[in-house]
Amino acid sequence: MARIGAHLHDGYPLEVAKAMGVDVVQFFLGDPQDWKAPQFPAGNEPDQVRAELTAADIKAYVHAPYVVNVASQNNRIRIPSRKILEQQLTAAAAIGAAGLIVHGGHVTAGTDLADGYESWRKAIERIERPLPMLIENTAGGDGAMARSLDNIARLWDAIIGAGGEDVGFCLDTCHAYSAGEDLAAVVDKVKAVTGRIDLVHCNNSRDDFNSGRDRHAGLSTGTIEPESLVYVAQAAGSDVICETPDPVVDVRWLRTQLGRLSSG
């Protein structure tokens, strides 16, 4: 059965998850805005973190730092991105995480998108992946690798061509809506391209459809019809993480809505 939980910004993930009453969490291994090596929660050894999560039956996902941009043609960004991505994958595996989420990245203005996909191909060939790496769709940017379904298809061609059959996909509902994708059809369309959806980031949007903006809202308070979010969470058949301003409220709300569907 799919688990519903939240992205945690502060505190020790295990204790916060227990307080929230969730059995799946997502968190960063350090500051998401810098290039430092991964840091384990509360400075604990990875084996201890892994053992505690396992004992509590709490599933963990790790989100890679936002600075990672494997598609960049700038060597000072692309090369460190590959390095830190591999470090993050190793660290996430050490704590027993189910996957590492990373954004598809982008090329700079005036750069052919094909160059970005080629950079991803090389990264897939060279980076060791001791656990699933889940690429997340993005909301905006003309040079984005994973904004539109057409771009995701091109990215997946590069990934599969490089032997990346183990690479998974994380579907963000706010990002898809802001990118102009119909949420009523997006699950089937993504699965037709990638063959899988490993995780859903279930978020409403503060902005209009096809706005290209990435600003999350509570599940029942944004511009996306709440029923559409419930549909995606159900249809994807994967774990769900809420990255909303008040995830405690939204986890409870989503559980209630999905419970009604299953009982009906």
Q: Estimate to the nearest angstrom the gap between the alpha carbon of 40 and the chain centroid.
A: 19
Q: Does the pLDDT at position 188 exceed 80?
A: yes
DSSP codes joined into one string, 37-102: PP--GGG--HHHHHHHHHHTT-EEEEEPPTT--TT-S-HHHHHHHHHHHHHHHHHHHHTT-SEEEE
The per-residue pLDDT for 264 is 60
Average pLDDT over residues 102-126: 96
Tell me which residue has tokens 């769900």: 240
The per-residue pLDDT for 172 is 98
Average pLDDT over residues 88-99: 98
What is the CATH number that goes with domain 4-263?
Answer: 3.20.20.150
The per-residue pLDDT for 109 is 86
Average pLDDT over residues 125-152: 96
Separation CA 171–CA 123 (nearest Å): 21
Q: Estimate to the nearest angstrom the gap between the alpha carbon of 186 and the chain centroid.
A: 16
Between helices 13-20 and 46-55, what is the axis angle to 10°? 20
Separation CA 185–CA 187 (nearest Å): 6
For residues 97-123, one letter each, b for 16 or more C-beta atoms within 10 angstroms of the residue's C-beta and e for the rest, the string is: bbbbbbbbbbbeeeeebeebbebbbeb
Of residues 183, 197, 181, the one with CA closest to residue 225? 183
Separation CA 43–CA 23 (nearest Å): 22
- Mean pLDDT estimate for the chain: 96
The per-residue pLDDT for 93 is 98
Low-confidence winner among 45-54, 84-93, 223-232, 252-261 (lowest mean pLDDT): 252-261
**Where residue 13 falls among pLDDT bands split at 50, 70, 90?**
very high
**Where residue 1 falls among pLDDT bands split at 50, 70, 90?**
low
Whether 245 and 216 have beta carbons less than 8 Å apart is answered as yes
pLDDT tens per residue across span 118-137: 999 999 999 999 999 999 99
Query: In sequence order, what are the residues at sequence separation of 6 or more whose Cβ sits closer than 8 angstroms to the Cβ of residue 135?
Result: 101, 102, 103, 104, 146, 155, 159, 167, 168, 169, 170
Average pLDDT over residues 30-45: 94
The per-residue pLDDT for 110 is 87
